[in-house]
Structure 1
Amino acid sequence: MTDPEELAEQVREGDLRIHELEDHTDSDTAAEARRLFVERETGTDLETIGDYSFPAEAADPNIENMIGAAQIPMGVVGPVAVNGAESSLSSGTDGGAANGEHYLPLATTEGALLASVNRGLGVIRSAGGADARITKNGMTRAPVFRVAGVAEAAETVEWVNENGDALAEAAESTTSHGELIDVEPYVVGDSVYLRFAYDTKDAMGMNMATIATGEACEIVERETPASLVALSGNLCSDKKPAAINAVEGRGRSVTADVLIPGELVEERLHTTADAIVEANTRKNLTGSAKAGSLGFNAHAANVVAAAFLATGQDEAQVVEAANTITTMDAREREDGTTDLYASVSLASLEVGTVGGGTKLPTQSEALEVLGLRGGGDPAGSNADALAEIIAVGALAGELSLLAALASRHLASAHEDLGR
């Protein structure tokens, strides 16, 4: 059936359920019929929501009950200079995965964000570029098992610790790319949690980790007294604030840093290294500690969220990415000039360049702008590079905002931009 009007009427009359439309027609017609139904039920004109450029079929793996698309303004910042050749911190060492200059697409509705990030990137570029490195990599899934008591818990943990190879063989049988790195047991009374960690290469890998862990759990149940209660026991921990992710990391742990000459701080940021260091200490460290925050930063999630929306990442995982620690340090040179050392450490940055939303046409183009579309060579290098670039973007945002606060220019900057 190809008439959206007739399909919409069948939904209205109850002859078809709204989620069954794709069983009777193509994806675009189903979306149009669903849109007509919603328009009539709510009295809303969905002309703009229905004006999208990609075939609805392309979004079939990503959404159900599609009626259109949410269009978010996208801009670009950069170039993002990662491990610049003249970086005062790199000391001639080999660069990270993102070595070079890249333009970073950001999608947001927050005015002044890109202008602020671009200002920070300009300063970083003038300082010779930032260093960025992946320090840890592991997508996690942590099932929870029931046991009779601590004796069975200990028996289960002992078996897991002695049979890593068997667990790896089972888990890796479900994927041609994923690799089991570690299984860490945790016991709470009659509950046993096993935190599986995987190298998922260029995929963000949440689904990959879930499927692989499910296979491994069958062996645990067969060989130990433990009974699986839930494939996810929240010790993973996915899409919620969790200290374990801030400490142990999830996805990619990445750090970016830069040393900015004192004269450049004064000329371009209109403040001093000492003033920025004090603002960071009192705001991002002491203030965050008093608030009980898991993140010790100014607004790292701003850049992460905008990059996630632009490049097709799972936007809910911005929660983990907010576990960022920003450090600032004043370093005195022999001539008495005080330079500024700045860093951001993102413990839990979950990104990929294949799978999920990265395959959608808009997001795929954004990854193409970065030169990171699809799988890398070697496997995992594209996702590593994306994480490093986002980290440098977050560093730029931290620099710019802290400088605006230290110079008391934050409000006036927004006023000047009319936002």
Structure 2
Amino acid sequence: MSDVDDLAERVEEGELRLHELEAHADEATAAEVRRLLVERRTGAALDTVGDYAFAPEDAVGSNIENLVGGAQVPMGVVGPVRINADDPDGAVSGDKYLPMATTEGALVASVNRGCAAIRAGGGATARVLKNAMTRAPVFRVADVGEAAETAAWVREHTDDLAGTAEATTSHGELREATPYVVGDSVFVRFAYDTKDAMGMNMATIATQEAAEHIEAETPAELVALSGNLCSDKKPAAVNAVNGRGRTVSADVTLSRETVADVLKTTPEAIAEANTRKNLVGSAKAGSLGFNAHAANTVAAAFLATGQDIAQVVEGANAITTVDVRDGGDTLYASLTIASLEVGTVGGGTKLPTQAEALDVVGVRGGGSPPGANADALAEVITTAALGGELSLLGALASSHLASAHEELGR
């Protein structure tokens, strides 16, 4: 009997559990055993799932548990998109390509068309406006009096909390510690500059130490290290107002001729579509995102470059603005993403496919100065998403949306 069959039999007999296989075999063998068991129990064939490019020992533990294989998503590329070419004060300057992984037909083509419009217009300007990864623990106090006492202590001792938190990391910096009181609950929203890391783990570990410091110095008792005021992987107004991760804005000015040649419509039609759809329609819906489909570009870029895909929730927290200027001669468009959570080190960025995608953008690993690579990636994603906004608004304004999806196979 092979090792695979033997281990599978031990699992089936209840001697081992699926998550214990790595204690008895290497990671590749453990994954093979799980595939065999799943095939037996479900009747599915997992040959393609078992054909993957990354080293299982590099993924198990840090990226995945109960590994069975890999999921393949088609990857395309958009660009070049021109960013900060005439204004090199941003984190990135020049022509950049962005890999996008998606199964949605027409998406890459649409974003690419918007990037072509941006390129024809001379390029976009993009800036990271703020960098603040957050974690917000919730504490219990006896009453409002103790809550006020705790909140006052936090406000007066931010430097002490910074020293405690930053002792846990060689890179992270505490920028804010803001208390919020709700009756006998005290929330403290910690915000960190996490440099080139997305920083959720960094912020969590640092906040644990800071929370213990608060417990030692105030009447507050920690209830949960995350009290949802962070707010991670959920639509939240606090992120729309204060940001989380990178807050990024990109804008471009296009001539009437470029709008007609590339987007097949007029500046006035795009402006009206944006107002009625992205602004009025979103307001009527109670949406936190006032945009056409920014999450499409964010999600596809996240998959390609190894980001935490669930954080596309915050990436959809974006506002698109459009104005007709210069007496109708030009179209101004901007996209501001309040909470774009990206990194170029850690997490899924070290997996081979995702590392190659980061190489395409030119931002793999730590930047110089620290944080520069993650800032650059954020600017590229936001600019490409602006291209996606322009393209979709153009398609809607010219009544080409349905025909484009029909032609491109969605």
Q: Give the TM-score taking structure 2 as reference length.
A: 0.98
- Report Cα offsets for 1:285-326 as digits up to 9, x if no partner: 000000000000000000000000000000000001111000
- Report Cα offsets for 1:324-346 as digits up to 9, x if no partner: 0000000025xxx4210000000
Aligned partners of 1:97, 1:39: CA distance in 2, in Å?
Answer: 48
Bigger CA drift: 147-156 or 298-307?
147-156
Is 1:59 the counterpart of 2:50? The answer is no
1:2 Cα shift? 7.4
CA contact (8 A) 1:324 1:345 kept: yes
Aligned partners of 1:372, 1:315: CA distance in 2, in Å?
Answer: 19
1:417 Cα shift? 2.1
Q: Which residue in 2 is equivalent to 1:5? A: 5
The one-letter code matched in structure 1 to 2:77 is: V
Show the 5 A alignment for 1:82-121.
82-85=83-86, 93-121=87-115
Q: Which residue in 2 is equivalent to 1:169? A: 163
Instruction: Return 5+ residue gaps in structure 1 as ranges.
Output: 86-92
The one-letter code matched in structure 1 to 2:245 is: G
Aligned partners of 1:416, 1:278: CA distance in 2, in Å?
Answer: 26
Q: Which residue in 2 is equivalent to 1:414? A: 405
The one-letter code matched in structure 2 to 1:37 is: L
| Aligned partner of residue 134 in structure 1, secondary structure | strand
Show the 5 A alignment for 1:81-160.
81-85=82-86, 93-160=87-154
Q: Give the TM-score taking structure 1 as reference length.
A: 0.96
Show the 5 A alignment for 1:271-350.
271-333=265-327, 337-350=328-341
Aligned partners of 2:361, 2:283: CA distance in 1, in Å?
Answer: 36
The one-letter code matched in structure 2 to 1:158 is: A
Aligned partners of 1:365, 1:10: CA distance in 2, in Å?
Answer: 39
Is 1:215 the counterpart of 2:216? The answer is no
Q: Which residue in 1 is equivalent to 2:248? A: 254
Show the 5 A alignment for 1:388-403.
388-403=379-394
Q: Which residue in 2 is equivalent to 1:234? A: 228
Q: Which residue in 2 is equivalent to 1:89? A: none
The one-letter code matched in structure 2 to 1:27 is: E
Is 1:358 the counterpart of 2:352? The answer is no
- Report Cα offsets for 1:8-34 as digits up to 9, x if no partner: 111111111100000011100000011
The one-letter code matched in structure 2 to 1:120 is: G
Instruction: Return 5+ residue gaps in structure 2 as ranges.
Output: none
Aligned partners of 1:24, 1:251: CA distance in 2, in Å?
Answer: 40
RMSD value over aligned CA atoms? 1.1
- Report Cα offsets for 1:126-150 as digits up to 9, x if no partner: 1110000011110000000011111
The count of residues paired between Structure 1 and Structure 2 equals: 409
Identity level (%): 71
CA contact (8 A) 1:2 1:25 kept: no
- Report Cα offsets for 1:254-274 as digits up to 9, x if no partner: 000000011111111111000
The one-letter code matched in structure 2 to 1:332 is: D
The one-letter code matched in structure 1 to 2:244 is: R
Q: Which residue in 2 is equivalent to 1:24? A: 24
| Aligned partner of residue 185 in structure 1, secondary structure | strand
| Aligned partner of residue 323 in structure 2, secondary structure | strand
Is 1:75 the counterpart of 2:76? The answer is yes
The one-letter code matched in structure 2 to 1:407 is: S
